């Protein structure tokens, strides 16, 4: 009988997942955050600091931290690493000139001990998944779960598929 009630309690309680969303400046992070939260496009300005919103998807409450991506702000990203379960790295895949810069920032973050257990979701816009995998050096991530989900921040295409992957990863961890 106790197993029934604990199972019922687990069924009725929402799972929570802390997500850190980062990427270079002007990649579309804030647009994505508010498209997920409000279902609409909002006018954004460059993020100095962070935006944080809770996004409900299926039975999971995602707390999404959208942190500014300007080069002067990036050293502050590390202050958001603690208790992060999922990392969304947003890449404007039309910005091929900065693909190497994006790769360097991603690899610098993934080397941090506090993010060793975080799963990685990459949200590109125009490069193919194979091209982005190569440009970001993702094949070198042998002991980390990662996934590329093609998206469009303004239309919302692919955003919920990305959350689906994150929610499945959370279920595997529990």
* DSSP, residue by residue, 76-137: GGGGG-TT--EEEEE--TT-GGGHHHHHHHHHHHHTSGGGTT-EEEEE-SSS-HHHHHHHHT
Binding-site positions: 23-30, 47, 69
- pLDDT at residue 131 in the model: 87
Write down the pLDDT at residue 142. Answer: 85
Which ranges of the chain have pLDDT less than 70?
1-12, 124-126, 174
CATH number for position 120? 3.40.50.300
Which residue ranges make up the annotated binding site for Mg(2+)? 30, 47
Active site residues: 70
**Residue 47 belongs to a domain:** yes
Whole-number pLDDT of residue 174: 64
Residue 126, pLDDT score: 66
Q: Would 159 be classed as within a structural domain?
A: no
Backbone angles phi, psi at 71, to 5 degrees: -60, -30
Count how many domains the chain has. 1
pLDDT of residue 96: 87
């Amino acid at each position: 009988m106790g197993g029934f009630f604990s199972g019922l309690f687990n069924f009725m309680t929402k799972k929570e997942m802390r997500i850190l969303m980062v990427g270079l400046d002007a990649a579309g992070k804030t647009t994505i955050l508010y498209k997920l939260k409000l279902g609409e496009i909002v006018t954004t300005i460059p993020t100095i600091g962070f935006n944080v919103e809770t996004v409900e998807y299926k039975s999971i409450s995602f707390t999404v931290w959208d942190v500014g991506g300007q080069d002067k702000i990036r050293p502050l990203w590390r202050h958001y690493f603690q208790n992060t379960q999922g990392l969304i790295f947003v890449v404007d895949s039309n910005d091929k000139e900065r693909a190497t810069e994006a790769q360097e920032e991603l690899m610098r973050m993934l080397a941090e001990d506090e993010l060793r257990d975080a799963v990685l979701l990459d949200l590109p816009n125009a490069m193919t998944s194979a091209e982005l995998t190569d440009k970001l050096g993702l094949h070198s991530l042998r002991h980390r779960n990662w996934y590329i989900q093609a998206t469009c921040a303004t239309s919302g295409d692919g955003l919920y598929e990305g959350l689906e992957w994150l929610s499945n990863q959370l279920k595997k961890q529990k």
